[in-house]
Structure 1
Amino acid sequence: MTYLDFEKPIAELESRIRDMKNLESGDELNIAEEIGRLERKLDKLLRDTYKSLTPWQKIKVARHPNRPHFPDFIKGLITDFMPLCGDRAFADDAAITGGLGRFKGQSVMVIGHEKGSDTQSRLKHNFGMARPEGYRKAIRLFKLAEQFDIPVITLVDTSGAYPGIGAEERGQAEAIARSTEACLGLKVPLVSVIVGEGGSGGAVALAAGNRIMMLEHAVYSVISPEGCASILWRTADKAEEAAGALKITAQDLLKLNVIDEVIPEPVGGAHRDHEKTMTALGKSLDQALNDLSALSAEKLRSLRREKFLNMGRVGL
């Protein structure tokens, strides 16, 4: 387990519990009682710590290396998954993965970012920062889902689209805009979930859905706190201050009506218990798809349009 800087008391307590469990002693009853006391203390410490996380701490949780990634969500929620690759124009971008599968027996198209879990896979998936061909692949899969009347689930986890020269030369901004347009124009239900980081247009391109949900400790913002601080204060050292001003947490965005639902994570974050995370997310996805399945294509499009037009309206 990788511990974050604010988790030092938690790390120390868990270390003591492990040492107690490995301790050989004839007084097993007293050891068991002490372990039980420490575990109760740990549970309270975890609850208290994660109940009062600052926006900057939530960013660290959202970026935790042990947090569930796209393959984990597929394994935990989707059966018969068949990946579909390539944009049919230039290349296959591994930063965005997608394919057909079944969710609770229903055919779905699942598309999401993948950051990678170790050095080799992170390089392969470009740390979840998609190039134009990634968004064009997503558009192809959106159209395929629409052709076969299959609902779409998107899982967003990216710090932003790849800003390299090659990506800009191949039309990065246009690809992001077209992907966002494809989301808004879909004639099938689109449920989007921010599962980690939702960064800038690179996230919106997959998240312009009928229902937008966020895991409890995920973040969603027009720019990263580091990027914001670099622009406003000319230094990334002000990132923590920027994080507090950007309103990037799921709780803030729910109040602002940018998202529709906050999905609770296990005590201590999704990285501590993938199985419970899948259970909570699966329940919310099931409800969302059931609510949207009865709506006509035109109703889905009009509601999606109104949803985004209403964001930011004040006093109207």
Structure 2
Amino acid sequence: MEYLDFELPIKELEQQLDKCLIIGEESEVDVTQTCKKIEKKLKETKKEIYKNLSAWQRVQMSRHPNRPYTLDHIKAICGDTFLELHGDRNVKDDKAMIGGLGKIGDQSYMFIGQQKGYNTKARQFRNFGMSNPEGYRKALRLMKSAEKFGIPVVTLIDTPGAYPGLEAEERGQGEAIARNILEMTRLKVPIITIIIGEGASGGALGIGVGDRVLMLENTWYSVISPESCSSILWRSWEYKEQAAEALKLTAPDMKKLKLVDAIIKEPLGGAHTDREATFKAVEKAIVESYEELKNLSQKDLVSQRMDKYLAMGVFKG
């Protein structure tokens, strides 16, 4: 189990509890009451820490190395029904963007999302979840296929941003993302978007236009990461915590600003502490969202989606 810096009091109490249990098992000393006191203190400490998380701490939670990624969610929700589809039919298959058909019950969905890796080799293979233009073009190809056959689209967002390399720009990174945003606004099937980790910049927005946009509790969604914001404004990464607060990037902030529709609650301690409960919560959110959208006509679906995004933001004349 890996712990973040603000979780160290939890780590100490869990170690104390483990030692207490070992003493009880290896000796005749009755440590039942001591263990109960430590368990009570551990429960109280967890509640206190996780109910008062700062914006930066939520960013750290969204990047936890044990946090479930896109394929984890899809495989848990769809099981053996998931069929991954590859390639943009133009350049190559982008491993940072995955997609394919899967079923929840009797209903088929087109799942699309960024995929990160769990170790160094896998991270390099997945390009750290940063898609090239062909990844966004693959996503658009799959969305258009879903539209053709009347299949709803589910996008799972978890990326530090689109790949910023020279070769990505040469192949039209900006155009690929802009094209996706345009096409998603007028796609004639329901789109359900869920931020399951990091939702950074245009890299997230390239698959982030939806009829229902949901966020897991300990995720973030913003035009820029706190570190990059800090480096631009203060010429240093030292102010990343201050930047995270100012960006209003957490799920409660985004809900308050009416930029997302709902927050999916995570288990106490984050999605990685009880993966099964997280998968069930995500599955439930997808099914409920689709139930709200499935009876809308294509015209009403597109019209409501357009109105939703036109209503975002304020300006002074």
Q: Report the equivalent of 2:43.
A: 43
Q: Residue 252 of structure 1 aligns to a residue in which SS?
A: helix
- Say if 1:13 and 1:42, in contact at 8 Å, map to a contact too: yes
**Count of equivalent residues:** 314
1:282-293 to structure 2, matched below 5 A, reads: 282-293=283-294
Q: Report the equivalent of 1:177.
A: 178
Q: How far apart in 2 are the matches of 1:22 and 1:113?
A: 42
Q: How far apart in 2 are the matches of 1:69 and 1:149?
A: 27
Q: Residue 98 of structure 1 aligns to a residue in which SS?
A: strand
AA aligned to 2:136 is Y
Q: How far apart in 2 are the matches of 1:88 and 1:132?
A: 12
Residue 31 of structure 1, CA deviation = 2.2
After superposing on structure 2, the runs of 4+ consecutive aligned residues of structure 1 that deviate more than 6 Å are none
Q: Report the equivalent of 2:280.
A: 279
AA aligned to 2:84 is P
Q: How far apart in 2 are the matches of 1:42 and 1:49?
A: 11
Q: How far apart in 2 are the matches of 1:145 and 1:222?
A: 28
1:89-100 to structure 2, matched below 5 A, reads: 89-100=90-101
Q: Residue 231 of structure 1 aligns to a residue in which SS?
A: helix
Gaps of 5+ in 1: none
Q: How far apart in 1 are the matches of 2:78 and 2:27?
A: 46
Q: How far apart in 2 are the matches of 1:32 and 1:299?
A: 62
Q: Which moved more, 1:243-252 or 1:15-24?
A: 15-24
Q: Which moved more, 1:88-97 or 1:276-285?
A: 276-285
- Say if 1:77 and 1:282, in contact at 8 Å, map to a contact too: yes
Give the TM-score normalised by the residue count of structure 1: 0.97
Q: Which moved more, 1:16-25 or 1:3-12?
A: 16-25
Q: Residue 206 of structure 1 aligns to a residue in which SS?
A: coil
1:127-276 to structure 2, matched below 5 A, reads: 127-276=128-277
Q: How far apart in 2 are the matches of 1:148 and 1:70?
A: 24
Q: Residue 110 of structure 1 aligns to a residue in which SS?
A: strand
- Say if 1:216 and 1:262, in contact at 8 Å, map to a contact too: yes
Q: How far apart in 2 are the matches of 1:31 and 1:182?
A: 63
Q: Residue 206 of structure 2 aligns to a residue in which SS?
A: helix
Q: How far apart in 2 are the matches of 1:240 and 1:209?
A: 29
Q: Deviations over 1:33-66 (max 9, x none)?
A: 3223222221221111011000011100011010
Using the aligned pairs only, state the percent identity.
Answer: 49
Q: How far apart in 2 are the matches of 1:68 and 1:131?
A: 22
Q: Residue 207 of structure 1 aligns to a residue in which SS?
A: coil
Q: How far apart in 1 are the matches of 2:228 and 2:306?
A: 29
Residue 314 of structure 1, CA deviation = 5.7
- Say if 1:142 and 1:182, in contact at 8 Å, map to a contact too: no
Give the TM-score normalised by the residue count of structure 2: 0.96
Residue 315 of structure 1, CA deviation = 8.2
Residue 204 of structure 1, CA deviation = 0.7
Q: Report the equivalent of 1:34.
A: 34
AA aligned to 2:66 is N
- Say if 1:86 and 1:137, in contact at 8 Å, map to a contact too: yes
Q: Deviations over 1:202-229 (max 9, x none)?
A: 0011110000000001000000111111
Q: How far apart in 2 are the matches of 1:298 and 1:41?
A: 56
Q: Which moved more, 1:298-307 or 1:188-197?
A: 298-307
Q: Residue 90 of structure 2 aligns to a residue in which SS?
A: coil
Gaps of 5+ in 2: none
- CA RMSD in angstroms comes to 1.3
Q: How far apart in 2 are the matches of 1:188 and 1:44?
A: 46
AA aligned to 1:130 is S
Q: Report the equivalent of 1:56.
A: 56
Q: Which moved more, 1:85-94 or 1:71-80?
A: 71-80
Q: Residue 306 of structure 1 aligns to a residue in which SS?
A: helix
Q: Deviations over 1:62-92 (max 9, x none)?
A: 1101011112101221130000000000000
